[in-house]
């Protein structure tokens, strides 16, 4: 039987690469996007071509009603959930802490922290009800331990919150056979850098990486698929750096 996996923010970047790989590895998929409907359709098509059943939902994770509607759609279509990749996330323009505004901080934490926590909560409720265990992977960032001074300390702090949420939730649901882990990507070639105002950011910083290169979304996706899988059956509450050594 194919397992059901929800991937948030699957229209582009790491989420899209994870969806494509998960389809090949035998998951049926619930995929979400916020604004990139055309890109989402292409990813869904590729996943179906790889043999997956695919449910696509538009959902802003900063809107609790969208999360509710998303899970109603998953319940209707699949009636169960085995895996979650909690990937949807944002950065913002590079500024110093002295330039941070209340509006920016609210948005950053609404999407990256509160949204991710509510999405995880609903997944755990279903997995506990099913009684068959499950696996969650939260997408954190190397920023969670680097701090991102002079760029986006708010983003780094939101991802640090995800790291400790991962540990706390993992401990809480360990006896339900639900594993919760995080992946911390480093400098990965996706559109997120352009959205933060600097398309060439990953390339510019690549010399700071011990491996002297950026990573690809697929390299992150492979780590996510490992943590989701039974190959990681004794791995929970941990964070896996996919950073080229940075």
Which residue from 18, 31, 33, 241 is in contact with ligand NDP, where contact means CB under 6 A? 33
For the window 82-111, what string marks contact with ligand NDP as x by the rule CB under 6 A? Answer: -----xxxx--------------------x
Which residue from 55, 113, 173, 188 is in contact with ligand NDP, where contact means CB under 6 A? 188
- Nearer to ligand NDP (CB atom), residue 45 or residue 79: 45
Rule CB under 6 A: say whether 12 interacts with ligand NDP: yes
Rule CB under 6 A: say whether 221 interacts with ligand NDP: no
Piece of the chain touching ligand NDP by CB under 6 A; list 2-10, 48-56, 128-136, 223-231: 2-10
Rule CB under 6 A: say whether 240 interacts with ligand NDP: no
Residue 105: closest CA among 163, 161, 142, 158 = 158
Residue ranges of E strands in 59-199: 83-86, 134-139, 178-185
For the window 143-182, what string marks contact with ligand NDP as x by the rule CB under 6 A? Answer: ----------------------------------------
Rule CB under 6 A: say whether 139 interacts with ligand NDP: yes
Do 225 and 132 meet the contact criterion of CB atoms below 8 Å apart?
A: no
- Number of other residues whose CB lies within 10 A of the CB of residue 102: 7
Rule CB under 6 A: say whether 36 interacts with ligand NDP: yes
Q: Which of 27, 155, 226, 234 is catalytic?
A: 155
Residue 120: closest CA among 76, 173, 44 = 173
What's the burial of 237, exposed, middle or buried (CB within 10 Å: 0-12/13-18/19+)? middle
CA dist., res. 246 & res. 242, Å (int):
9
- Number of other residues whose CB lies within 10 A of the CB of residue 164: 13
Rule CB under 6 A: say whether 244 interacts with ligand NDP: no
How many residues of this chain bind ligand NDP (CB under 6 A)? Answer: 31
User: Helix 153-173 crosses helix 116-130 at what angle (to 10 degrees)?
Assistant: 10
Rule CB under 6 A: say whether 62 interacts with ligand NDP: yes
How is residue 188 annotated by DSSP? B
What's the burial of 37, exposed, middle or buried (CB within 10 Å: 0-12/13-18/19+)? exposed
Do 3 and 82 meet the contact criterion of CB atoms below 8 Å apart?
A: yes
**Known catalytic residue: 155?**
yes
Q: How far is the CB of 12 from ligand NDP (least distance, A)?
A: 4
Which residue from 5, 11, 54, 182 is in contact with ligand NDP, where contact means CB under 6 A? 11
Contact positions vs ligand NDP (CB under 6 A) = 8-15, 33-36, 59-62, 87-90, 111, 139, 141, 185, 187-188, 190-192, 195, 202
Question: Which positions are annotated as active-site residues?
Answer: 155
């Amino acid at each position: 039987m194919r397992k059901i996996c929800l991937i948030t923010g699957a229209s582009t970047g790491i989420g899209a690469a994870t969806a494509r790989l998960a389809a090949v590895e035998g998951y049926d998929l619930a995929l979400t996007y916020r604004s990139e409907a055309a890109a989402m359709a292409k990813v869904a098509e590729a996943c179906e071509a790889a043999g997956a059943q695919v449910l696509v939902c538009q959902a802003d994770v900063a809107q609790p009603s969208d999360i509710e509607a998303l899970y109603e759609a998953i319940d209707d279509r699949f009636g169960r959930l085995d895996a979650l990749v909690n990937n949807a996330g944002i950065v913002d323009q590079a500024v110093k802490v002295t330039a941070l505004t209340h509006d920016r901080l609210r948005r950053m934490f609404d999407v990256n922290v509160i949204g991710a926590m509510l999405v995880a909560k609903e997944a755990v409720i279903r997995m506990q009800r099913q009684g068959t265990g499950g696996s969650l992977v939260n997408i954190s960032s190397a920023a969670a331990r680097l701090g991102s001074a002079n760029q986006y300390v708010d983003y780094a702090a939101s991802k640090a919150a995800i790291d400790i949420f991962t540990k706390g939730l993992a401990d809480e649901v360990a006896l339900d056979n639900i594993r919760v882990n995080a992946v911390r990507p480093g400098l990965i070639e996706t559109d997120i850098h352009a959205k933060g105002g600097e398309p060439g950011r990953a390339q510019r910083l690549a010399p700071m990486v011990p491996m002297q290169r950026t990573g690809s979304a697929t390299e992150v996706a492979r780590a996510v698929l490992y943590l989701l899988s039974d190959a990681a059956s004794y791995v929970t509450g941990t964070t896996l750096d996919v950073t080229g050594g940075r």
